[in-house]
């Protein structure tokens, strides 16, 4: 079984430029999560999807961040414009049903460097 | 609000010795607790979880964790550490809506 796939793995951009990250969850997983992980810290949830609906986006900085999950499968996280403080690892995770206390499966992450 | 604390930034242990990584939690209601491990340049991997039942939970790669309600702890343990266990370990608590709150992580260094 293929795991959570993320691309790109690394991205270097200049500040004020836009950037997008892509995630393909494990087949059949209805719940998808985007996390932000700063160096030396644990992941922090940005947004959670149940199928194509964003059910928790309270931690997403909506002035510059946006996300979508069309058709309830793949998801894209976008930052526009990027700031120096956005440099971090962006992790995508998926699980079969959020309400069943199932573990989340994480992708390898996208390491973003903003210059 | 729920939270977890990992009081040790780093744990050093010799190969073959017992390994313990500490975690304490704060929740209102029943705790749903998880341990994940992260190897360099890789995503988090699930080790084990406590939802209900037996206080001793067995997980992947020989790890286990002991849930202690009176001490609000969920320490991760391995009887005999391997060099390959060197990694970053995260404790997490889950709310009723599926949101995981992670600790800051504990770096485990196992020396030969």
Would you state the pLDDT for residue B105?
96
Say if residue B1's pLDDT is above 80. no
How would you classify the pairing of strands B10-14 and B106-111?
parallel
Q: Which of A90, A77, A88, A100 is nearest to A31 (CA)?
A: A100
Which residues of chain B neighbour A99 with C-beta distances below 8 Å? 98
Q: Do A56 and B99 touch (CB under 8 A)?
A: yes
Least confident of B34-38, B96-100, B107-111: B96-100
| pLDDT tens-digit series, residues A63-96 | 999 999 988 899 999 999 999 999 999 999 999 8
Q: What is the Cα–Cα distance from A103 to A115, expressed in whole angstroms? A: 35
B4, B43, B50: which to substitute to probe chain A, counting the most A Cβ within 10 Å?
B43
pLDDT surpasses 80 at A100: no
Please, which residues bridge with residue A5 across strands? A24
Query: CA of B112 to nearest chain A CA: how many angstroms apart?
Result: 25
Model confidence pLDDT, tens digit, residues A33-58: 999 999 889 999 999 999 999 988 98
Contacts of A106 in chain B (CB under 8 A): 36, 43-45
A92: its two tokens: 């995508």
pLDDT in the model for residue B46: 93
- Tell me what the mean pLDDT of segment B22-40 comes to: 92
């Amino acid at each position: 079984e293929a795991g959570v796939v993320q691309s790109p793995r690394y991205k270097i951009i200049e500040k004020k430029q836009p950037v997008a990250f892509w995630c393909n969850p494990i087949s059949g997983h209805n719940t998808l999560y985007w996390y932000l992980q700063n160096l030396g810290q644990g992941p922090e949830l940005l947004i959670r999807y149940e199928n194509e609906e964003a059910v928790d986006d309270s931690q997403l900085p909506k002035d510059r961040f946006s996300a979508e999950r069309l058709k309830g499968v793949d998801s894209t996280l976008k930052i526009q414009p990027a700031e120096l403080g956005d440099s971090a690892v962006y992790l995508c995770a998926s699980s079969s049903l959020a309400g069943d206390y199932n573990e989340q499966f994480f992708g390898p992450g996208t390491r973003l460097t903003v210059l | 609000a729920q939270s977890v604390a990992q009081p040790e930034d780093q744990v050093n242990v010799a190969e073959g010795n017992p390994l313990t990584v500490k975690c304490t939690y704060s929740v209102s209601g029943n705790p749903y607790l998880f341990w994940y491990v992260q190897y360099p340049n890789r995503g988090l991997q699930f080790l084990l979880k406590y939802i209900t039942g037996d206080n001793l939970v067995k997980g992947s790669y020989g790890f286990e964790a002991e849930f202690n309600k009176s001490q609000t702890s969920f320490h991760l343990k391995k009887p005999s550490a391997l060099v390959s266990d060197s990694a970053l370990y995260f404790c997490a608590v889950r709310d009723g809506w599926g949101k995981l709150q992670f600790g800051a992580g504990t770096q485990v260094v196992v020396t030969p």
